[in-house]
Amino acid sequence: MNLLTAQAPVRVPRSGKGLALGIWRLVMVALVVMLSLGFTQVAVAQAEPDREMRTAAPGITADQWRQVRSGETDANYRDSRYESDYNLINASGETWRQIRNRWVSPFGLIVIGGMISVIALFYLIVGRKHLEEPRTGRKLFRWPLFLRALHWSVASLFIVLALTGLNLLFGKFIFPTLFGAAVWSWMTSASYVAHNYLGPIFGILLVILLVSLIKDNIPKKHDLEWFKKGGGLVGKGHVDAGFANGGEKVWYWLLASVGLMVVASGFVLDFPNFGQSRDTMQWANIIHAVGALGLTAVAIGHIYIGTLGTEGSLEGMTTGYVDETWAKEHHNLWYEEVKDQAISEEEVAARKSGDSSSDVSASRPS
């Protein structure tokens, strides 16, 4: 058919049904236009908090907002989402936000950054503590397999919890610009999940570790002398130490006090379904963060002493055995108790390969 000569279709008069359909279509188009305008309004209002407030509750006056903020409860001002005695606005939430952002976060940066700087300076100026006498090659059994496994499990979990916790507190200042919003959002979600699930496991293992080590960490008179001499840094000669020295006992009791506080407040935050109030959750959050940041700083010190800082310490926690010379120089009172149990490296190897059960169950003399 030639398009130029083709006749225009004859207009068929609209039936009532066709008219209704037309009106219906018009209404639909108007509805879509209105809805998209509405969404745009909400989006704009959300970008501006004042405007959002006016949009959400246009009839409310400044006095009414003041009354809501003041904490007065009244049927009209209650949070209606579920049974709750809370005021519409949780005014103490702002106090919590201020404490967290103005005090807790900077405190974390100062203690952790300060600890890293002090250790770096100490390492550069004083250096590693080497053994003064040559190794004898004879070994003393110090850490049974059960305690080593427990130590490394607690330590690994602590490190993961510290890294994910630090990411939740400080990550937003670094990673969104480094990796972009998509990666950052994945990092935050992963951190939350890891932190929330691993926290309780860490808590349980920490309690088992603390119970297993309590006997060796009861404070003794000679620990005072250890502190006075700065663990051997001040004055000459070795300072007396039993199985655990003064510094290790401080680490132990910090874990037994602050560590358990961090675990307890973590449980309060992890299980909000036990009826705890928002104020309780806010305080739990502050206690949890301050305790965890402080412990992380001390843990960095502990990790330094256990690895770079002291020759011969790490092998105790990896193999279970330490050299006699190390025992004599770092834990002289313990050495006196166990020196007749020293064995050669060959005997250690034989024990480990042939009769590994002795390494697992051998009781640790103290």
Q: Which residues bind ligand HEM (CB under 6 A)?
A: 142, 151, 154-155, 158, 209, 213, 216-217, 244, 248, 251-252, 255, 299, 302-303, 306-307, 313-314, 316-317
Cβ at position 358, least distance to ligand HEM in Å = 20
> Which residue, 281 or 300, has its beta carbon nearer to ligand HEM?
300
- Taking the complex as a whole, how short is the minimal distance between the CB of residue 179 and ligand HEM, in angstroms? 26
| Residue with Cβ nearer ligand HEM (209 or 338) | 209
Between 184 and 326, CB nearer to ligand HEM:
326
**Would you give the distance in Å from CA 14 to the centre of its chain?**
71
What minimum distance in Å lies between the beta carbon of 259 and ligand HEM?
7
Least Cβ distance, residue 135 to ligand HEM (angstroms): 16
Closer to ligand HEM at the Cβ: 77 or 203?
A: 203
Residue 93 C-beta: closest distance to ligand HEM, Å? 31
For residue 39 the two structure tokens come to: 């969404």
If one counts every other C-beta atom within 10 angstroms of the C-beta of residue 155, the result is 17
Measured CA to CA in angstroms, residue 184 lies from 167, 189, 191, 204, 316 at distances of 10, 9, 10, 30, 39
Rounded Cα gap, residues 250 and 267, in angstroms = 25
- How far apart CA 366 and CA 272 sit, in angstroms, is 43
CA end-to-end span of the chain: 107
Tally of CB atoms within 10 A around 192: 13
Q: Which is nearer to ligand HEM, 213 or 342 (CB)?
A: 213
Q: Smaller CB distance to ligand HEM: residue 147 or 343?
A: 147
| In the complex, minimum distance from the CB of residue 60 to ligand HEM, in angstroms, rounded to a whole number | 50
Is the CB of 88 or the CB of 317 nearer to ligand HEM?
317
Q: Which is nearer to ligand HEM, 142 or 351 (CB)?
A: 142
Report the nearest approach of ligand HEM to the CB of residue 317 (Å): 4
Q: Residue 359 CB, nearest distance to ligand HEM (Å)?
A: 16
Q: Which is nearer to ligand HEM, 45 or 314 (CB)?
A: 314
Instruction: Return the HEC string of the chain.
Output: CCCCCCCCCCCCCCCHHHHHHHHHHHHHHHHHHHHHHHHHHHHHHHHCHHHHHHHHCCCCCHHHHHHHHCCCCCHHHECCCCCCCCECCCHHHHHHHHHHHHHHHHHHHHHHHHHHHHHHHHHHHCCCECCCCCCCCCEEECCCHHHHHHHHHHHHHHHHHHHHHHHHHHHHHHHHHHHCHHHHHHHHHHHHHHHHHHHHHHHHHHHHHHHHHHHHHCCCHHHHHHHHCHHHCCCCCCCCCCCCCHHHHHHHHHHHHHHHHHHHHHHHHHCHHHCCCHHHHHHHHHHHHHHHHHHHHHHHHHHHHHHHHECCCHHHHHHCEEEHHHHHHHCHHHHHHHHHHCECHHHHHHHHHCCHHHHHHCCCCC
- Residue 141 vs 252, nearer CB to ligand HEM: 252
CB of 183 to ligand HEM, least distance (A): 27
Name the minimum Å distance from CB 324 to ligand HEM: 14
Name the closest residue to ligand HEM (Cβ). Answer: 306
